[in-house]
């Protein structure tokens, strides 16, 4: 398995644990629709959180969250709309980014709520 794949899976695992600790109910992980994927779909206090996880081993080229491009945001909105339609969900939706920086035997996790909005 490629190292970047392991890095991403590690970040997603840390994020799921973090969200559960904060009181979120995890509904889906790695939910796929056509060629689109949502890393984590969670719910807390009646809000559906669509969570993109970005994990890096270094901030040399920028913080992990800076790699969530406008194109990626549009894809997440499209996938979230599909998920909501399939499940018949009628809740407020929020798009979050969790950036995870893995360095040696420690990690830094930064949860950005309402990181971007559907347009």
Q: What is the pLDDT of residues 41-57, one digit of tens each?
A: 999 999 999 999 998 76
**All structural domains of the chain:** 3-116 (3.40.1350.10)
Taking residues 34-39, what's their average pLDDT? 90
Residue with the bigger pLDDT between 70 and 5: it is 70
Helix (H), strand (E), coil (C) string for the chain: CCHHHHHHHHHHHHHHHHHHHCCCEEEEEEEEECCEEEEEEEEECCEEEEEEEEEECCCCCCCHHHHCCHHHHHHHHHHHHHHHHHHCCCCEEEEEEEEEEEECCEEEEEEEEEEECCC
**pLDDT of 3 above 70:** no
Question: Is the whole model's pTM more than 0.75, yes or no?
Answer: yes
Q: What's the confidence (pLDDT) of residue 114?
A: 95
Residue with the bigger pLDDT between 103 and 96: it is 96
Residue with the bigger pLDDT between 108 and 58: it is 108
């Amino acid at each position: 398995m490629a190292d970047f794949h392991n890095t991403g899976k590690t970040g997603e695992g840390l994020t799921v644990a973090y969200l559960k600790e904060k009181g979120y109910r995890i509904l889906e992980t790695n939910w796929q629709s056509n060629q689109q994927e949502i890393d984590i779909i969670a719910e807390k206090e009646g809000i559906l959180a669509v969570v993109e996880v970005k994990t890096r081993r270094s901030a040399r080229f920028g913080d992990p969250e800076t790699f969530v491009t406008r194109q990626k945001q549009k894809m997440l909105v499209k996938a979230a709309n599909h998920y909501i339609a399939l499940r018949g969900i009628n809740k407020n939706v929020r798009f979050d980014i969790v950036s995870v920086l893995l360095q040696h035997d420690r990690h830094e996790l930064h949860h950005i709520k309402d990181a971007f909005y559907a347009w």
